[in-house]
């Protein structure tokens, strides 16, 4: 290998990264400031850029370059990982025939339209034909990508490289069983928590100001990031030196802005923390959707929905919203934001029952892609599973199987990432409390730098160098399982509902964990 081969690769991958970053700027603008009338023109700009990226990434010279680098024995470790990731991107791009890509684009555009109408009228049959076609195309796509056991594996792999149905199923089964046991304990205790304080009046400007201050204190760097408003909150990154968050604010629900922004800031701090050498290469990216989600959920749930956090933050929240919180204590507030209650809509679900929504979608997607289930059966199967797992039955398809946008854009395989994020976050949490024994005291003093430094060193810095399973094994010395999450939830629910001793058996006395 000539010494400048890697340099030629860097030139190429940096150009690709720059175009992808420009695409991300245009998409961010589309969701935040773009006037509505610009939609057509923006769609054309985005499509031109994406065609350009596709051409550049499958280009013959680039392929030869990557092939040469894969044979090389002279690369440093991080350079080998960069070449591996570029090769993976190229393989994925080359495996789909152009005709399939075009057909899929047409089908999703029709399906998206059909889904919107079906949801508005709460009538699944209006979406069924378009969805049947998408399922067929995704089954074909799984064949193009290739798989050894289950065609659904090929689709999960797009979001969670290396993950399979065979690995997920037993973990999800244990999670299902453990969650039902916790729900039964809450029901049998007949304890209840008043969460109406969250829906009093909260001034929008002050909510936004409080949320910004909070994420800055947690460690989101405003020198390399900013916050704007959008209809659907998200985090996007153009480079580790330019990370954008969005949130939305409701006057009569104070959870949305604050917890939404903390969540996105968790994603953002991951993006701000990659090794500098990885800039403008495929390594400057989250290693999987599940690990990305674990970083947002870690800050949102483990930190910002904990009692120590509110022991520190509540006095300031109370003085910001004197009229609404004068009669409330930090513990009342902590309990209100942790209420557990089965509900129909996934994005409104609490920390515990949320996973049941995901398991239902996972089971349905797996059966559809494996060809063991027909699209027409979705509403009945959905409702039966909601009843079986959560004890409630949706009154109509709009609050049942039509609620999510994901299937309308063919996003099969994405849903498991959400629950994986929760499980990874709990695994990391159980590890960090063993390595920083006074973590809760630090949080109760509003000190987050040591925690952020831990996440930086163990997770963020690696970018895409480590696969999710390698990260988890390396950091915690154990594989993915539902146990740390169930232990964490058992302890939390015990405190929130003041359940008698023995219920929160895994929790040590006092305020730990």
Rounded Cα–Cα distance for residues 364 and 425 (Å):
25
**471 vs 65: CA distance, rounded Å:** 29
Query: At closest approach, how far in Å is the CB of 263 from Zn ion?
Result: 6
Q: Which residue is nearest to Zn ion (CB)?
A: 296
Quick check: is 511 catalytic? no
* Span from 99-107, 293-301, 435-443, 494-502 in contact with Zn ion (CB under 5 A): 293-301
Between 79 and 296, CB nearer to Zn ion: 296
Number of residues that bind Zn ion (CB under 5 A): 1
Q: How many CB atoms lie under 10 A from the CB of residue 173?
A: 12
Give CA 396 to chain center in angstroms.
27
Coil/strand/helix, residue 238 = strand
Closest to 495 (Cα-Cα) out of 478, 509, 480, 477 = 509
Name the segment binding Zn ion (CB under 5 A); options: 150-158, 203-211, 296-304, 392-400. 296-304
Please say which residue, 207 or 295, places its beta carbon nearer to Zn ion. 295
433 contacts: CB under 8 Å, gap ≥ 6: 439, 440, 512, 513
Stretch that binds Zn ion, among 294-302, 347-355, 406-414, 482-490 (CB under 5 A): 294-302
**Between 296 and 490, CB nearer to Zn ion:** 296
Rounded to an integer, what distance in angstroms lies between the CA atom of residue 491 and that of residue 506? 7
Q: Least separation, in Å, of the C-beta of 511 and Zn ion? A: 28
296 scored as a contact of Zn ion (CB under 5 A): yes
Catalytic option among 264, 293, 300, 483: 264
Give the C-alpha separation, 270 to 293, whole Å: 10
Min separation Cβ 121 and Zn ion, Å: 30
Note whether 278 and 82 are within 8 A (CB): yes
- Give the binding range for Zn ion (CB under 5 A) out of 98-106, 119-127, 138-146, 289-297: 289-297
CB of 236 to Zn ion, least distance (A): 12
Q: Does 490 bind Zn ion (CB under 5 A)?
A: no
**Angular region, 280: left φ>0, alpha ψ -120 to 50, beta rest:** left
3 state DSSP class of 198: helix
Least distance in angstroms from the C-beta of 133 to Zn ion: 29
Nearer to Zn ion (CB atom), residue 151 or residue 416: 416
Q: For Zn ion, which is the closer residue by CB, 296 or 353?
A: 296
Q: Which residue number, 161 or 233, has a Cβ lying nearer to Zn ion? A: 233
Of 74, 93, 92, 87, the closest CA to residue 7 belongs to 74
Measured at the CA of 391, the angle between CA 390 and CA 393, to 5 degrees, comes to: 100
Shortest CB 296 distance to Zn ion, Å? 4
CA distance 362 to 172: 9
Q: Which residues bind Zn ion (CB under 5 A)?
A: 296
Which residues have a catalytic role annotated? 264
């Amino acid at each position: 290998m000539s010494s400048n081969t890697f340099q030629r690769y860097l030139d190429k991958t940096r150009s690709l990264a720059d175009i992808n970053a420009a695409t991300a700027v245009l998409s961010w603008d589309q969701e935040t400031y773009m006037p509505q009338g610009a939609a057509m023109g923006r769609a054309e700009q985005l499509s031109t850029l994406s065609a350009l990226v596709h051409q550049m990434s499958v280009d013959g010279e680039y392929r030869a370059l990557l092939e040469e680098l894969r044979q090389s024995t002279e690369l440093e470790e991080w350079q080998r990982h960069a070449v591996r990731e570029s090769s993976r991107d190229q393989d994925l791009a080359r495996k789909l025939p152009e005709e399939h890509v075009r057909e899929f684009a047409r089908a999703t555009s029709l399906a998206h339209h059909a889904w919107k109408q079906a949801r508005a009228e709460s009538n699944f049959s209006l979406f069924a034909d378009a969805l049947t076609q998408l399922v067929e195309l995704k089954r074909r796509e799984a064949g193009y990508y290739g798989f050894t056991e289950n065609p659904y594996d090929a689709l999960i792999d797009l979001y969670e490289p290396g993950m399979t149905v065979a690995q997920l199923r037993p973990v999800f089964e244990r999670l299902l069983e453990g969650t039902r046991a916790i729900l039964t304990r809450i029901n049998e205790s007949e304890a209840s928590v008043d969460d109406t304080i969250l829906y009093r009046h909260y001034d929008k400007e002050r909510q936004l100001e409080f949320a910004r201050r909070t994420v800055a204190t947690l460690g989101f760097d405003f020198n390399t990031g900013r916050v704007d408003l959008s209809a659907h909150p998200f985090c996007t990154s153009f480079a580790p030196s330019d990370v954008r968050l969005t949130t939305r604010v409701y006057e009569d629900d104070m959870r949305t802005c604050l917890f939404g922004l903390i969540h996105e800031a968790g994603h953002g701090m991951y993006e701000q923390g990659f090794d500098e050498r990885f800039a403008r290469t495929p390594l400057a990216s989250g290693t999987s959707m599940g690990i990305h989600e674990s970083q947002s959920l870690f800050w949102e749930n483990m930190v910002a929905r904990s009692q120590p956090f509110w022991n520190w933050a509540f006095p300031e929240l109370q003085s910001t919203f004197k009229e609404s919180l004068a009669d409330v204590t930090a513990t009342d507030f902590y309990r209100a934001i942790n209420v557990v209650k089965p509900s129909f809509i996934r994005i409104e679900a609490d920390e515990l029952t949320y996973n049941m929504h995901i398991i239902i979608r996972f089971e349905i997607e797996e059966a559809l892609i494996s060809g063991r289930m027909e699209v027409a059966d979705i509403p009945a199967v959905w409702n039966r599973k909601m009843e079986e797992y959560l004890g409630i039955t949706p009154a109509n398809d709009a609050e049942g199987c039509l609620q999510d946008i994901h299937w309308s854009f063919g996003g099969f395989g994405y849903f498991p990432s959400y629950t994986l994020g929760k499980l990874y976050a709990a695994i990391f949490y159980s590890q960090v409390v063993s390595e920083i024994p006074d973590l809760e005291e630090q949080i109760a003093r509003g000190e987050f730098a040591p925690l952020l430094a831990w996440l930086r060193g163990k997770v963020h810095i690696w970018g895409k160098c480590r696969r999710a399973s390698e990260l988890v094994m390396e950091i915690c010395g154990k594989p993915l399982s539902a146990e740390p999450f169930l232990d964490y939830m058992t302890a939390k629910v015990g405190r929130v509902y003041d359940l008698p001793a023995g219920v929160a058996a895994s929790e040590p006395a006092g305020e730990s964990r």
